[in-house]
Structures are given as C-alpha cells and as structure tokens.
Structure 1
Amino acid sequence: MKRPLFSLTISLGLLASAIAPSILPLITSARAQASENPQLVAAQPKAVDSGRLVRTFTGHTNSVNSVAIANDNETIISGSTDRSIRFWDLESGKLVRTLSGNLTVNGVAVSPDGQTLLNSGTDKTVKLWRISSGDLLRTFSGFSAMIRSVAIAPDGDIFAAGSLDKTIRIVQLRTGNEIATLKGHTDYVTSVAFSPDRSILVSGSGGLDKTIRVWQVPDERNPGRLLRTIKAHPDWVLSVAVSPNGRYIASASADKTIKLWDLSSGELLRTFTGHKDWVRSVKFTPDGRTIVSGSKDQTVRLWSTDSGELLATLEGHKRPIMAIAVSPNGRYVASASEDKTVNVWQIR
C-alpha cells in the first residue's frame, strides 16, 4: 500500500488572505499536529473541482513566457517575448498596466509582501518593479548570461537567479549586493525554487545536465553549499517546485513526466504520466494536495499529490503552454502560452 504523502486538513493558502499574519504560526503548528492525527483526514474537502475557464487575456503580440498571480488573487501578471510585462484584472478582464521589460521576458516573481515584482530576461539583467505604480525601483546587472528563472525567498530578503552560464546567483533585494554564486550544474539552469523556510534552494537544469540540485541557502555568514544532486530525468529538467510543507520536490521534464521527490533524501516517490509532450512548468497548490502542470501538449493538468491520480485536464490553448501560476488562495490557475494568451482557470 502506498504511504500517504499528505494528511492535512488545513489549507494555509486559503486562510492566509483572511487571517492576520500573527496567527499564521498557530496554523502552522496545527498543520503539523494534523499530520500526526490520521483521524482528521476524513473531514477534508475535495482537493479540486474539474476546472473551468473563467478568463482569457489577449493583447500580447508574441509568446507569453511567464505568469504570476499577485497576493490580491485578482491581478494576473504576464511576461512575453514581445518585451512587455502586462498587468490584468481578473474580475473585469481589463488590461491595467503595461511595462517595458528586458527584451524577451523569461520570468516573473511577486514578493511575499505583494508590493514588488521581479522579472528576468534575455538582456542579462533582473528588474524590480513596484506593483501599485509600475515604477522601476532597481535594475540588477552584472550577470554573464541570460537569466532563465528567478525566485524570491519567502522572507523577501534575497532572490535567486538561474542562468545560462550554469550558475545561480543569490542577491540581496534591498541593496543589490551579491551574496553568493552557486556552481555545480554542468549546463544551463532552467528553474529555481526556495523552501518555505528559506533554508533550501532547489534548482533544475537542462541540456546535458538533467539533474536537480539541492543547496543550503547562503547568507552573509555562510557561503552555502551543495547538499544533494538528484539524477532526475532522462531528458531536460524544465521546472522545479517545493511543496508548502517543505518536504517534497516536484520536477517537470522534457521526458513528458512529472516526478515527486523526498527533499531530505532525494528518494523518488512517484512519477506522473499522461502528458503527450514536454512538461514546461509545475506548481503545488497552497495546501500541497494538488500538483499542477503545464505542457507543450497545450494542456494544464491537475494531479493528486498523494495518490498520483489525474484529477482534471484543462484544455483551451492553441499552442504550447510556457508557464503556470497558482493563486495564493488556491482558487485559480493561470497559464501562459505561445498562442500569445493567458488563460485563468477556476479549480476550487
């Protein structure tokens, strides 16, 4: 019998927008207790609905490569090969703001406090924007190659940038100071993700590397180090995500699969099959019970983390999906596509 991966009845993602931050540590404690009490599982609600398309945003003039959902759960942010970053209002369907990004925009990430946006692109820079005004606050330069992926640490103090030069730079957001450069990948870095407590960074690599690497996050007193290398897939690793409880890694690959790993041991726990082409992006829902994947096969798929069951297949794009995002409240999934659109799906 397969051991359960999650026995959680409390959804931090759904509660976070309604509960004061001071109470969140209590929820975290309750969450840990719940995992030790299987009798609580009987009360848990359905993980996801079948999913319905609630909005399609059009306006980009080239492939949409990245997408994020702001902390208000209503602002959708997209980055495109057309060199723009666009802000969309989910309720009205209207374009709110357009920013000039860095040539092709590869990645976008919203800060934990919801105030700022980070984006990376092909011009070897990372830019920091104020979400409320669209003002450019800082440009981080000095990178030696294109930045493929960016992630902001949960405390909002630092960010990680994965590059085609095979390295990951750790930079302090407030000062722009580079804290460390993590070296070890043998080909370009496609994806980076922090653990919820910021202590761990997970990276994936493409080309000939095909590994996941687990790093101790450096700070001003410790340079960081490589903790583990996972020989993950027989083809490129295109996306990685860390579960909300910090125990698991999900990886998406050009081999058409998603894999679930134990973060502490590197053990393979489950392989999700069903996509018919490259899986370009993977995320966990805020409660950790569902894995969401976006593929070159033009579909978004929802999977049970615990059982591996395919819960839903969302169809609507006409070209490959480049990126996906899950709203902080766990209600919506946004998908960005080569068809120049962003779709938003309601999954709860």
Structure 2
Amino acid sequence: MSRQYLAWGSADNAHPVDIFSLAVTQKQVISASGAPSLKVHSTVDADFPLVQSLDGAHALGCHHVVTDVSGTRAVSAGFAGDVKVWSCQDGYWSADATASANLNDLNVWAVALSEDGQYLAGVSQDGHIGVWDLNADGAQIRDHETKGSFGTCIDLSPDGRFIASGHENGAVYIFTTEHARMPFSLSGLVKPVRAVAFSPGGKILAAAGDSKVIVLYDTSSGEQIANLSGHSAWVLSLSWSTTGEYLLSSSFDGKVKVWSIDTKTCVATQSETEKAVWSVKWLPKTARSEAFTTGGANRSVAFYREATGG
C-alpha cells in the first residue's frame, strides 16, 4: 500500500553551504553544515522559524550532529576533528565546556548518543570505536578496534546493548556494549557504507551506502534478512520511524524513500530536489500523521508530512 507525503514547509537557505546533518527533538531541529554555525529551528510553529544560531560552533564546519531522546543534550563533530557537547534548557542550547574540553582531541568522524544522553560513541578515520561517559566529564570507557578502514557512520541501539559501525571498505561491525566484544562482522556491502541505523527495538540493523542497496540484518544472528533496492544513487542517510514500521532513506540524487518493513517495499518517494539529500530524520510523532525533515545540497531544511483524509 503506497503512502503520500506532502511538502509541509521549509527553512530556505538555512545555511550558506550544504547541510550535512540533522538532529531532531520534540520541538526543534538542529542542522549542521560546512559553515561554522549550527542552526536551531522550531518545529512547533508553522513557518519553522530560526530560534537560535550557535555561531562559531565549528571553525571548519560540521558533518555530524546528534541528540538524545529528551532533547537535553546534543553532540556535534566538525571537519577539524573537534567534538562539542551541548546542553539544552528551556529550549536554549549552550556549550558544555567541561565535557567538550575532554573530547577536543578525539578526532572521531561519526558520532552517536545513547537515548538517555549519557554515552557518546564515535568512530575514527582509522576505524577505532570509542565510548565516552558524558556524565563523567567525557571519560573514555571503551575502545574497540576494527580492521582499520575509515569509520564513516555509527549508531547505538535504543536499548544500549549494541554499537554498529560502517566503514569505507564496505565493512559493517556490531559490538556488544556489555562484554565489549564483536560478535558480528557483517557481509553484503562491498562499497563504502554511509549510514547504519538500529530499529527502535534493536532487533534489526539497516545499513546502506554507495552500493545503492539498503541491507537489513538480524542483530541476534548477524544474518541478512532483506535487501531493499530502488535507489539509483548512493544512499546517504537512514532513519527509523518511532514504531519501527517504516524506514526512511535519502540519496545523492535528491530522492527520499519510505520503506515498509512489513512488506520490504518502497511505499513512497519524494523528489523535490535533484541535489544530494545528506540527511533525513523522522520527526517525533505528536499527531496522527507521520512527518519527516530533510537537509542537503540545496541548503534548506524541508519538512514533509503524511497526507491523510482527516
């Protein structure tokens, strides 16, 4: 059964250059780009106004930004290898100088936050995966070693049991956080992996990249359970819906697809732009209809919501 998503609005020219990453909270979306500032837009108001600009956050620009579930903590990673921790109070973000200072020389590429915001996971250009306790001023508690290929993406399972990383050589790894061991080195992607994402229940890992195919893995066995084919360009970003029923993907050719996990088929395609959509995120479900946001080479943060009869 196909679904339809309609353009809901956009923050046009939110950044002067490509938007590389989006993070969402209950009421805001944070966007990061090749420019030094992070931008915060309200998702409560119909015109998605800019409510804060974190100027000078990363001198050389920022490629990843993530938030915890409650929207009280965020972490951003810049092109200079710098990592910044941010705290939110009453909708206003400020730098957590203590935690940021201890994380300044990590030189990680991709980052992920645990749901409660306590743990930061990061993967580096030499393939190392680290975990840091942000409630202990950023003290490192884990260091996992892979086979040395550039770590392009990382995710933490919602229950905190697993860490997954994707790499430039096509490798995908799953580590257990409790025993700090790697039960699975996953096959199926021979080209650079650009996105890994755990389902809300943590039972499925989705991975995708330059092979243009989204592979679904069973996290208990490491087995491939599905290949989702339909993108004609690199897949750049993945996001699971709150219920785990749908997976959202974006690609280098500007197309965004919604996949039904039940039927393993694409149920909607958005193609508002022909430029790369670097990041896509479902918004927290607050009403009957689902909604998502996109950011990319058109420099705008766009919003879409499901067309309903009600």
Superposition TM-score, scaled by structure 1 size: 0.80
* Aligned match of 1:193: 155
Q: Note if contact 1:158-1:173 (Cα within 8 Å) is conserved in structure 2.
A: yes
- Aligned match for 1:217, one of 158, 177, 199: 177
* Aligned match of 2:296: 337
> How much does 1:93 deviate?
2.3
Q: 2 CA distance for matches of 1:185 and 1:238?
A: 17
Say whether residues 1:87 and 2:49 are aligned partners.
no
Aligned-partner SS, 2:93: coil
Aligned-partner SS, 2:92: coil
Aligned-partner SS, 1:329: coil
Superposition TM-score, scaled by structure 2 size: 0.89
- Aligned match for 1:128, one of 64, 85, 91: 85
Structure ranking higher in helix proportion: 1
Identity %: 23
Q: Note if contact 1:283-1:325 (Cα within 8 Å) is conserved in structure 2.
A: yes
* Aligned match of 1:167: 128
Q: 2 CA distance for matches of 1:182 and 1:192?
A: 13
Q: 1 CA distance for matches of 2:110 and 2:233?
A: 21
Say whether residues 1:56 and 2:18 are aligned partners.
no
Say whether residues 1:76 and 2:35 are aligned partners.
no
Q: 1 CA distance for matches of 2:205 and 2:92?
A: 35
Q: 2 CA distance for matches of 1:241 and 1:347?
A: 22
1:112 maps to amino acid: V
Name structure 1 gaps, 5 residues minimum. 1-45
1:104 maps to amino acid: G
Aligned-partner SS, 2:160: coil
Say whether residues 1:279 and 2:279 are aligned partners.
no
The RMSD of aligned alpha carbons is 1.7
> How much does 1:142 deviate?
4.9
Report the structure number with the largest CA radius of gyration.
1
Say whether residues 1:263 and 2:222 are aligned partners.
no
Q: 1 CA distance for matches of 2:250 and 2:298?
A: 14
1:155-192 Cα offsets, whole Å, 9 max, x none, are: 32211012212111101112210112211143111111
Q: Decide whether aligned partners of structure 1 residues 299 and 116 sit closer, same or farther in structure 2, where only a CA change above 3 A counts.
A: same
Q: How does 1:102-121 map to 2 (within 5 A)?
A: 102=58, 103-121=60-78
Q: 2 CA distance for matches of 1:162 and 1:104?
A: 18
1:229-282 Cα offsets, whole Å, 9 max, x none, are: 002312111100111111101111101111111111111111111111000111
1:301-343 Cα offsets, whole Å, 9 max, x none, are: 0011121111000111241011111112172211111121111
* Aligned match of 1:234: 190
* Aligned match of 1:314: 270
Q: Note if contact 2:235-2:252 (Cα within 8 Å) is conserved in structure 1.
A: yes
> How much does 1:298 deviate?
0.3
* Aligned match of 2:138: 176
* Aligned match of 2:167: 205
Q: 2 CA distance for matches of 1:196 and 1:149?
A: 17
Q: 2 CA distance for matches of 1:246 and 1:133?
A: 31
Aligned-partner SS, 2:96: strand
Q: 2 CA distance for matches of 1:328 and 1:262?
A: 25
Name structure 2 gaps, 5 residues minimum. none
Q: 1 CA distance for matches of 2:72 and 2:116?
A: 13
Q: How many residues align?
A: 293
Aligned-partner SS, 1:113: coil
Q: Decide whether aligned partners of structure 1 residues 182 and 347 sit closer, same or farther in structure 2, where only a CA change above 3 A counts.
A: farther
1:123 maps to amino acid: A
Q: Note if contact 1:155-1:198 (Cα within 8 Å) is conserved in structure 2.
A: no
Q: 2 CA distance for matches of 1:185 and 1:320?
A: 30
Aligned-partner SS, 1:225: coil
Q: 1 CA distance for matches of 2:106 and 2:237?
A: 25
